Chains A and B, each alone.
Chain A
Amino acid sequence: MFPARFDYYRAENVDEALALLDEHEDAEVLAGGHSLVPAMKNDGREPAVVVDLDVDDLRGLDLGAGGTSVTVGALTTYADLAADDRLAQVAPVVQDAAREVGDRQIRNRGTIGGNLATAHPAADPPAAVLAADATLLVQGRDGSRRVPAGEFFEGEGETALAAGEILTGIEIPGQQDVGTAYHRRTHSATGYALVGVAAVISAVQGTVLDARVAATGVVDRAVRLSAVEDELLGSSVGGGSIEAAASEAGAELDEDRLRSDPQASGEFRLNLLETEVERTVSDAVDAAESDGLGF
């Protein structure tokens, strides 16, 4: 399969890219290309223009003072995220999710920014940035703006990015004194998550002080599971409290938006979700304990 004809432009800085997007109406932004190129080959995506972001400033991690936050450039590959020890210290849940994406070749080339901007409803990073309480950094011709991860994903392939805007980075608050985990059940046909769950938990002396739990693959976008979080808050870990919280996993999900295909019905995904939430939250709590920070 060949993509339809298009004009390719390489932008070596963000302003150049924004100018190209301004100039060409029917333009797509190319980051790692691992969603866009397959879509152009097999899914009938036929942009007139492709603007290749080849911007060194958007690659790699920039640590805030004292590990209070980390800004991940949008063009950072999953492989670079997976290998960076600093990310393991500051925002491990994002690293856990990056390690689960696709396969070795895809991780070598695919980028976190491209992933988030594509908003595939079963991709791993969206759940991780939700659980990490990240802020997405967006730049347009009229300046830059910050979008909380919770307001970024608007549906399958739909985000808060307006036409002509580019996602430039992801700012993640430091996740010290927490336990984190990301687990997924893999969809056997697509390689994406059938259900994926990210959890960031802080607990002191066996009591949950803060809990952020997010899921991907279940509905048309990655979502925070606030009913689970509410149930966990203030609870004592152990004695069935995690199981009780996990049983709330589907409570606030809109049944009409459940994903369903020949591999897995919506109902099956909800069942898996409960199991994966329990497993992920348990591991996050264990991680909080083993750090010797929470207890």
Chain B
Amino acid sequence: MEHDITLTVNGREESLTVESRTLLVHALRDRLDYTGPNVGCESGKCGACTVLVDGDAVKSCTLLAVQCDGSEVTTAAGIADCATSENGDGQELAPLQQAFVEEHGLQCGYCTPGILATAEDLLAEESDPDRETIRRALKGNVCRCTGYQHVVDAVETAAEYRRADDEPVESGEASD
């Protein structure tokens, strides 16, 4: 059985036809070329496929694409698009992504798009999470390189940047 569905991915409306059994991660990667979510464990444990669906971090290998018909999907790349919505080209890094660069929050990078999506979900809910809260939030994202220390550092730093961004801007910052 096939279904015509519409997803809004990183702000762009995408219409496609999927089989009942098509998983969201495959619709995103193989059909629409959004390669942020990675396929890792295939069993809902590793979190490499994490994306935001209607704002909630979910594992896209454990959702049917047809279940998400009409939903807004944000991948790790889309977090940047949100940050630079003026042009929407994703060229500028979001504070969360910038923090991962500065704190060396990744090594091989395979898990990173999933971690970014989960961290985005956390920071949308909590502006100043402590390290234990960050660790709890990232329980469903497995990283075999970093040992997590720098990942937690990066999320802490990202939270700081975001709090600073929320403060009233004093002078014409970030205009070029």
Chain A partners chain B: yes
Across the interface, B62 reaches (CB within 8 A) one of A5, A7, A10, A37, namely A37
A52 within 8 A of B: yes
Across the interface, A108 reaches (CB within 8 A) one of B1, B20, B121, namely B121
- Chain A interface category by residue count: 20 to 34
Contact flag A109-B63 (CB < 8 Å), given A8-B3, A41-B42, A104-B121: yes
Q: Closest residue to A4 on the B side, CB-wise?
A: B21
Contact flag A1-B42 (CB < 8 Å), given A8-B64, A37-B64, A105-B59: yes
Residues 68-119 of A at the B interface (beta carbon under 8 Å): 79, 102-106, 108-109
Q: Are A104 and B137 in contact (CB under 8 A)?
A: yes
Chain A residue contacts of B140, Cβ below 8 A: 102-106
Chain B residue contacts of A3, Cβ below 8 A: 21, 23
Interface 9-mer from B43-51, B81-89, B99-107: B43-51
B118 within 8 A of A: yes
Q: Closest residue to B52 on the A side, CB-wise?
A: A108
Contact flag A6-B20 (CB < 8 Å), given A38-B62, A108-B57, A108-B58: yes
Chain A residue contacts of B58, Cβ below 8 A: 105, 108-109
| B159: min CB distance to chain A, Å | 16
B67 within 8 A of A: yes
Q: Are B20 and A109 in contact (CB under 8 A)?
A: no
Residues 1-27 of A at the B interface (beta carbon under 8 Å): 1-8, 10
Q: Closest residue to A186 on the B side, CB-wise?
A: B139
Contact flag A8-B20 (CB < 8 Å), given A34-B44, A41-B42, A105-B47: yes
Q: In this complex, which of A102, A104, A106, A191 has the most chain B Cβ atoms within 10 angstroms of its Cβ?
A: A104
B122 within 8 A of A: yes
Complex Cα spacing A2 to B26, Å? 10
Across the interface, A106 reaches (CB within 8 A) one of B21, B59, B67, namely B59
B56 within 8 A of A: yes
Q: In this complex, which of B47, B67, B122 has the most chain A Cβ atoms within 10 angstroms of its Cβ?
A: B67
A–B pairs, 9, beta carbons within 8 Å: A4-B21, A5-B20, A6-B20, A37-B44, A41-B61, A42-B42, A104-B136, A104-B137, A109-B56
Q: Which A residues are within 8 Å of any B CB, using their own CB?
A: 1-8, 10, 30, 33-34, 37-38, 40-42, 50, 52, 79, 102-106, 108-109, 191
Going nearest first, the 6 A-B pairs with the smallest beta carbon separation are A103-B140, A8-B20, A108-B56, A7-B1, A103-B139, A3-B21
